Chains A and B, each alone.
Chain A
Amino acid sequence: MKSILLTLVFWFCAMPAWAALDPAVVKQLGAEESDDKIAAIQQLGASANREAVKVLKALANDELYVAGDTIFLMDGDTAVDAVTGAALQPAPESYESITINNRIRAELTNAIASLRLLNPDREVRLAAARELQTNVGLEMVPILDRALARETDPEISSLLKLAQAQANLGSEDAAARLAAVHALADSASPNTRNLLLPLTRPDVEANEKIRQAAAAALKAIETQLAFGEFVGQIFSGLSLGSILLLAALGLAITYGVMGVINMAHGELLMVGAYATYFMQGLFRAYLPAYVDWYVVAAIPAAFLAAALVGMALERTVIRRLYGRPLETLLATWGLSLILIQAARVLFGAQNVELSNPGWMSGGVEVMAGLTLPWNRIVIIGFTLFVLALVWVLMQKTRLGLFVRAVTQNRAMAGCVGVPTARIDTLAFGLGAGIAGLGGVALSQIANVGPDMGQGYIVDSFMVVVLGGVGQLAGAVWAALGLGVVTKFLEGWAGAVIAKIVVLVIIIVIIQKRPQGLFALKGRFVEN
């Protein structure tokens, strides 16, 4: 009911704007012969009349009817005269729909697209121009010329020029074809590459000059495409690296700096992700207007939640096991099992649904064929923010000073009055909180479920081990390096092989540099 009302409202608004169409042409749509119909469709398409779109769309949907001399379409429950746009009172008793075949259908699509090119709404024109990128014929050239002459928007203009060039490739005139090849050379997309490829073959293109131009254009396009792909891989590598870094940065503090093997680290990520989920629920219930900003509110919440859980673990279990790394490993594994099961009991065993906020969806097109998604960009930015936060905390605050002092020499730090036990708890809480922040980022790109943390634990340890224990900067380089290398390997060999190769590379590197790639220089005494 509602939808019918809405349609009616639209229809009444549209009424006065209905500019009359040429009755003879409209009538020809109902002709017996396909050729007549096509001629009429092309005329309507060339007429630059907005209402023609409506008529042609109705025809494409088999919803244009003929009753005697009148051609009409149904708007909701009302029969509307296709020529005048006036409601037919009373509605015709007997009528039949105009049948179309596939040839006519193809014509219709082009005609509708060309009509939409003249639509005053920019979005509609843009969409139409995009559609024409893959499907355009020589007969469209006049319409494209007209649309181009009227177009003021540069983005649509360039799209139209491309479409025009594509259309002109089929032209009889060699000069027009050459101009088209030159125009296409400026746009690097897999589509133009496919268009130009046949033109280098003598049996398709007789003109030597055009073949050469096409070959040159192809070469330029290939280079540009390869460059775009390369940049894209670097970007996705950096993106993966920043995720690895977020997952590993907390570990770099708890394991790298404090020497605690925390196998429950992945579950601290999970706590952060569930805190984000919880925030989303809160915003949906109480602040629906600001629901897009729940992620921002989740950042402190996730930090606190994970830090509290981490400090509780440290106080109850980990504290008793300092200096016994293998036992710590087993006990924290047990803790991780408990946390996983707790998440299952509290939130259910299924993954929970988190929606990306509006400002994180979509992407920016940097160059043809290379679109960088916003959520990845935001996560890279967020990683930088977290890195800066950790750096400031560790280097510029009293807490950071104490943590560094305790790591360097626990006994000496205790002697000069540093409360070492409390510093341990706080440092562990800091590492756990950072893991929580990683969880916020992960919740935006990966599934959030009780088992989500398990997948990251090995990767995180690899980052820390590769970077060198006790080194935050090492972890940064290791994470970004691993991310980029993984993405390039994935391009060649697929995800699983890439993962295996990366693990083998890490094992080999550790052979050569057991202290990690960026180990602190100095002499170490084995305990």
Chain B
Amino acid sequence: MPAPFTLRFLNSLSRTGWIAMALFAVIALGVLPALHLFVPEGSPLHVSGFVITLGGKLMCYAIVAVAMDLIWGYAGILSLGHGIFFALGGYAFGMYLMREIGTDGSYHSHLPDFMVFLDWKELPWYWAGTDSILWAAVLVLVVPALLAYVFGYFAFRSRIKGVYFSIITQALTLATMLLFFRNETGFGGNNGFTDFRRILGYDITSPEMRVILFGLSALVLMLTLLLGRYLVTSKLGRVLAAIRDSESRVMFMGYNPLHYKLFIWTLSAMLCAVAGALYVPQVGIINPSEMSPANSIEIAIWVAVGGRGTLIGPVIGAALVNLSKSYFTVAFPDYWLFFLGALFVMVTLWMPEGVVGLWKRIRTRRAA
């Protein structure tokens, strides 16, 4: 008889896991926001808005990395097009943010500035209802999920996998990027969406809003990790790992890999979309370059650096790679690509299990 859900859920994380999770919750939801809001700016304990925004950004990346790990690390599907789902989520929420600008744009029109610029008289049909944050939230979840489901259904049904799948997802993201670059598509062309003013009437740049977005990102990251952990320790996770290791054998045992792969693929896309929706108000811009193939492939390296199939590894990987990106692009802008390229090569050659694998190896050596 299967154990009750609560028990299974609690068992999905180890004791140290739960402690770490609680510690993270206290810091991200309590300490950092308090230090930002209530400690005066001159004080050495004050956490600046820059740190809060950077932290929020990193957590959004981490959500994407965990979503990637779910399909790559556990189901063996390497997507080189995850940027699409991230950007679609961002665009869906960005539509709401654009509507929320109201008549404060440079043309003081009810339409977003870029539409006035194109001499459009009314909103295209797919913008209908985007002035409601609830509808925007529905779009954030449904549009990427639908795209992922349809694409995944056709791809997995004809058993496209491995490198073929990767290349096709890359083509998909390239095509979508080209589509969004067009002005006629109705999403601001090259420039995308920017100049956001407020959410639900509150100023988007205020410290309180910053902290709320930061807290939301932290919450979603924690939930993603818990959900991921629960899934991979469940029967579904076992089947997925089996599909990763030998799809034919799983089929011979009577499972249909299509449904399993499709479920985890669509879920992963939705997680990415949520991350994108949280990311856009924090950085204040979304444009088609988020869908460039290079961006999507970078997600894979976050996961690889952290350690595939570990869930926590990708979080570490995303933070490490992006922090070093922030550092390098300021300190040695000419060397960032050398570093990133070398990282790709070295991790695949010498650190197949990433940072987490390295840590485990060190611990077992010490224990022995």
- Chain A residues in contact with chain B, CB under 8 A? 261, 317, 320-321, 325-331, 333-338, 340-342, 344-345, 454, 458, 461-462, 465, 496, 499-500, 503-504, 506-507, 510-512, 514, 526
* Docked CA distance A331–B162 (Å): 16
Contact B349 A341 (CB under 8 A): no
- Chain B residues in contact with chain A, CB under 8 A? 78, 154-155, 157-160, 162-164, 166-168, 170-172, 174-175, 178-179, 181-182, 247-248, 293-294, 297, 300-301, 304, 334-335, 337-338, 340-345, 347-349, 352
Interchain CB contact (< 8 A) of A330 among B171, B301, B337, B338: B301
* Distance from B244 Cβ to chain A, minimum over Cβ atoms (Å): 11
* Distance from B163 Cβ to chain A, minimum over Cβ atoms (Å): 5
Contact A507 B342 (CB under 8 A): no
Contact A338 B301 (CB under 8 A): no
With A325-B163, A458-B170, A503-B175 in contact, do A338 and B348 touch (Cβ < 8 Å)? no
Contact B168 A507 (CB under 8 A): yes
* Distance from A508 Cβ to chain B, minimum over Cβ atoms (Å): 8
Interchain CB contact (< 8 A) of A326 among B78, B170, B171: B78
Q: What are 29 A-B pairs at a CB distance below 8 A?
A: A317-B349, A325-B163, A326-B78, A326-B163, A327-B352, A329-B78, A330-B301, A331-B349, A334-B343, A335-B344, A336-B341, A337-B340, A337-B344, A338-B338, A338-B342, A338-B345, A340-B337, A342-B338, A344-B334, A458-B293, A462-B167, A496-B178, A496-B179, A503-B175, A507-B168, A507-B172, A510-B158, A511-B160, A514-B159
* Docked CA distance A261–B164 (Å): 10
Main secondary structure, interface of B, reads: helix
Contact A341 B167 (CB under 8 A): no
* Docked CA distance A335–B347 (Å): 12
With A341-B337, A458-B170, A465-B167 in contact, do A334 and B345 touch (Cβ < 8 Å)? yes
Contact A514 B163 (CB under 8 A): no
Chain A residues lying within 8 Å of B171, measured Cβ to Cβ, are 458, 461-462, 503, 506-507
Main secondary structure, interface of A, reads: helix
Contact B334 A334 (CB under 8 A): no
Chain A residues lying within 8 Å of B342, measured Cβ to Cβ, are 334, 338
* Distance from A24 Cβ to chain B, minimum over Cβ atoms (Å): 61
* Docked CA distance A512–B160 (Å): 11
Contact B164 A338 (CB under 8 A): no
With A458-B171, A458-B293, A514-B159 in contact, do A317 and B345 touch (Cβ < 8 Å)? yes
Contact A329 B181 (CB under 8 A): no
* Docked CA distance A321–B166 (Å): 17
User: Which residue of the partner chain A has the closest CB to B338?
Assistant: A341
Interchain CB contact (< 8 A) of A499 among B159, B178, B248: B178
Chain A residues lying within 8 Å of B347, measured Cβ to Cβ, are 330
* Distance from A267 Cβ to chain B, minimum over Cβ atoms (Å): 10
Contact B341 A337 (CB under 8 A): yes
Contact A496 B338 (CB under 8 A): no
* Docked CA distance A441–B157 (Å): 40
With A329-B163, A333-B344, A496-B178 in contact, do A510 and B168 touch (Cβ < 8 Å)? yes
* Distance from A429 Cβ to chain B, minimum over Cβ atoms (Å): 19
